[in-house]
Amino acid sequence: MYELGRRLIFIRKQQNLSQQKLADKLGVSRSYLIKLEKGTGILNDYAMEQLKTKLKINPPEFLEPPTSILLDAGKALLRNELTLITPLIVNLIKDGYDLETEFLGKLIVATYYYRINKFSDAQQIEETFLTIYFSYFLSDNLSLHLKILILYYTIQKLDYLGDYSQGEKVIEDLLPLLEDEHEIGVVSLKLLYFYVKQKKNEMAYEFMMILKPKILILANEQLWVTFNFYIYAIYREFKMHKKALQTLNNLEQLLRCSSQVDKLPMIYQNRGVIYHHLGEFKKALENHEKAFSYIKNSQPNSLLLRSLIINNIKLNRFNEAKKYFKISEKIQSTQKDKMILNYLKGELALYEGDKYLAKELITESILYFQHHYNFSALHYIYSFLAKHYHQTGKFREASYYFSKKEELEYEQSHANCFS
């Protein structure tokens, strides 16, 4: 009856009731409530009915041990079944239980927040249990389930921090501990994701081929959709554009017949990226505008807005490009985002024939990206300028930027040899 006592204490504190007030609501004496809270009394049928009518608590849920509820929530989290993480979990982390139960609740909620990209909420909870976390992490006497949850939490945190190499190592520690095939599938997909993020393309491709039949056997819609997004990412990295497009087309059909139609904007945005790489700017723009139409009522992401600007510039739709510049300026939060936008304004000025403004904006952007060693941005700028000046017959300028691009590629390959 110890679990029952802890639940009563929790409910009393949650509803800001004194022992006497709770006893009155349950129709028992205060001394008997104290016995119940200590786990030495039995809750009678009348008190159970009062729980339901006066405190709006469902007795079967009330009698289920909090540890059991937390473990079920932890398993749901591991299985990627996020809708099963109920508001009850958020209540359980407040107070009223022993340290291990409270820690377990906070660990699950922090992991959940990382999983749904609520990073500030996750970090706020994290601050309240980091000391306990490290003491548990270093303990040799962990229960298996708690060890699994700690490793899973660490993976979500490393994903947020972008430390994919360390995340890969943690997954290698986690996989041998799992028995449930669904959980193994979810974690294996995360490993595939880390391979893709680290551009370990050969390894990702081999692992994808091994994983595909295993994911198919699980017959889980959400896992299959996630797996296909990773397949698309691998094809894109390999510049296998036709296969990437086919994967996106298949995903669109799958999503339209599923409960995940909210992911359709991702299909349109990524398909626009592929068409842009293929030089089919009109098709790229059509897809990006489709994606924008789905999410314009919420805050559009900066990458989609930049794609809309670039493709409108390519199609000489300068007024449309300027419209998206105005939207972008409202949401650019980092200096890097602002400098990318700054460069695109320079590109627009170049197309419009304002060469002095173009030179000023582009030079400022190049200096910023050189200072911050942003090779991918510099490569994009040098490639564009070399091509633009060659097409407009300015071969000396084209040769200059082509040589800058080659120097950059040499520096990158040289650095990779010693990294």
Is the CATH number of domain 2-64 1.10.287.1120?
no
Q: Say whether pTM exceeds 0.75.
A: no
| SS3 category, 90 | helix
Summarize the confidence of residues 219-241 as an average pLDDT.
86
Domain ranges of the chain: 2-64, 239-327
pLDDT band for position 89 (50/70/90)?
A: low
Q: Residue 236 phi/psi, 5° resolution?
A: -65, -40
The closest of 382, 385, 373, 376 to 406, measured between CA atoms, is 382
With a cut of 50, say whether residue 305 has pLDDT above it: yes
Beta carbons within 10 angstroms of residue 219's beta carbon = 8
Fold of 239-327: 1.25.40
Using a 10 angstrom Cβ sphere, with 0-12 exposed, 13-18 middle and 19 or more buried, the burial of residue 231 is: buried
Distance CA 158, CA 267 (A): 26
The radius of gyration of the chain's CA atoms, rounded to the nearest angstrom, is: 28
Q: In whole numbers, what is the pLDDT of the chain averaged over residues? A: 81
Distance CA 104, CA 129 (A): 10
The closest of 81, 88, 85 to 10, measured between CA atoms, is 88
With a cut of 90, say whether residue 244 has pLDDT above it: yes
Q: Are 304 and 269 in contact (CB under 8 A)?
A: yes
Using a 10 angstrom Cβ sphere, with 0-12 exposed, 13-18 middle and 19 or more buried, the burial of residue 263 is: middle
pLDDT of residue 298: 66
| Cα 40 off chain centre by | 46
Summarize the confidence of residues 290-312 as an average pLDDT.
83
With a cut of 70, say whether residue 416 has pLDDT above it: no
Number of H helices, E strands in the chain: 24, 0
CA torsion through residues 230, 235, 239, 241, sign: negative
Summarize the confidence of residues 269-283 as an average pLDDT.
93
